[in-house]
Structure 1
Amino acid sequence: MIDERFELPTSAGERQVLETFLEFQRGALVRKCADLDDRQFRSRSVPTSRLSLAGLVRHLAGVERWYFQAVIADAFPGSLFTTFTADFDDVEAATCEATFDMWQAEVETSRRIAAERSLNVVGRHPGTGEQHSLRWVLHHMIDEYARHLGHADMLREAIDGRTGE
């Protein structure tokens, strides 16, 4: 996995700032999982926890799919996993390569959907009908990644002592 860090803009338009911050968070996820073998990638922080780096990456792939495809594009192709918690629970056969390939495909679709729309475009949550603008979704995705990157730091530290950027 390549470390493709970049400078976050200090003075830019709203869309560039939102997209750059989200891309930085996506890149941080890749960095936090770099140089792990599949066993380490699947390992849980403690035996009673469902949390693993594999589960986090799978979860974030599903979140990308949900908010960009289901909410904004109104074109949800279905869930990536058979149950709501399978992204965290069923990681025994997960590999770094296949998991990141799946995540990358969802990210590419999200980027395309966002690029084709104004920040003001509004989509609907398929279950509740609640409306969300693309602007809101970008903010939410930054928040979603930031929260889970804290989990990723703790998981990585338990594996080999590495944390942070």
Structure 2
Amino acid sequence: MTTNPERTIPPTTAGERAMLESWLDFHRETLARKCVGLDDKRLREASAPPSALTLLGLVRHMAEVERHWFRRVLAGEQEAGRIYYDEADKDGDFRVSESDTWEEAHATWQAEIARARENAAGRSLDDLSAGGHRDIESFNLRWIYVHMIEEYARHNGHADLIRERIDGATGF
């Protein structure tokens, strides 16, 4: 990745739906910007021992999170299996190897974001999900948006620290 992707600036006076969607896009784009200018080797670089957390692992994780909440939970697409992890290795999305690339992880992540937008389009924020998560049977779309914003915000904090550790870059 060589150029900074555009970043949505959330409006300060929008309605609830526009506000939630723009904050989610802002955080999606923030994670992408944290990866700008780094090659695959640097994207696989762990933050600080003993943590194995990497920027590439965060992108893979967020592809899984997008798939889970917008496909399996919201749309009830139970056939949408896991991408990078399984029951034997529940942290497989975070574990990267020399063969894992930005090109593949980014393409997968962007495909899941596109599918998330499709699955949310035309739904009311009050619409209930067709699937559940753990012991909870349903979630409204509003809850899913708020949860996704929280999930990205938390991991963008991790991404800040990882990027600074790699090359001293801050901000974005």
* TM bracket (short chain): over 0.9
Partner in structure 1 of residue 9 of structure 2 = 7
Partner in structure 2 of residue 157 of structure 1 = 164
Is the contact between residue 54 and residue 91 of structure 1 (CA under 8 Å) also seen in structure 2? no
TM-score, normalised with respect to structure 1: 0.94
* Aligned CA distance change for structure 1 residues 91 and 137 (closer, same or farther; 3 Å): farther
Which segments of 5 or more consecutive residues in structure 2 lack a partner in the other structure? none
Partner in structure 1 of residue 40 of structure 2 = 38
Rounded Cα–Cα distance in structure 2 between residues aligned with 1:101 and 1:68: 17
Partner in structure 2 of residue 112 of structure 1 = 118
Which segments of 5 or more consecutive residues in structure 1 lack a partner in the other structure? none
Rounded Cα–Cα distance in structure 2 between residues aligned with 1:33 and 1:104: 14
| Match 1:134 to one of 141, 151, 169 | 141
1:50-99, Cα deviation, whole Å (9 max, x unpaired): 20001100001000000011111001311012422101123332111111
Is the contact between residue 8 and residue 25 of structure 2 (CA under 8 Å) also seen in structure 1? no
Is 1:78 matched with 2:84? no
TM-score, normalised with respect to structure 2: 0.90
Q: Name the one with the larger helix percent.
A: 1
Rounded Cα–Cα distance in structure 2 between residues aligned with 1:89 and 1:68: 23
Q: How many residues align?
A: 165
Is the contact between residue 44 and residue 96 of structure 2 (CA under 8 Å) also seen in structure 1? no
Rounded Cα–Cα distance in structure 2 between residues aligned with 1:126 and 1:22: 20
Q: How many percent of aligned residue pairs carry the same amino acid? A: 47
RMSD: 1.4
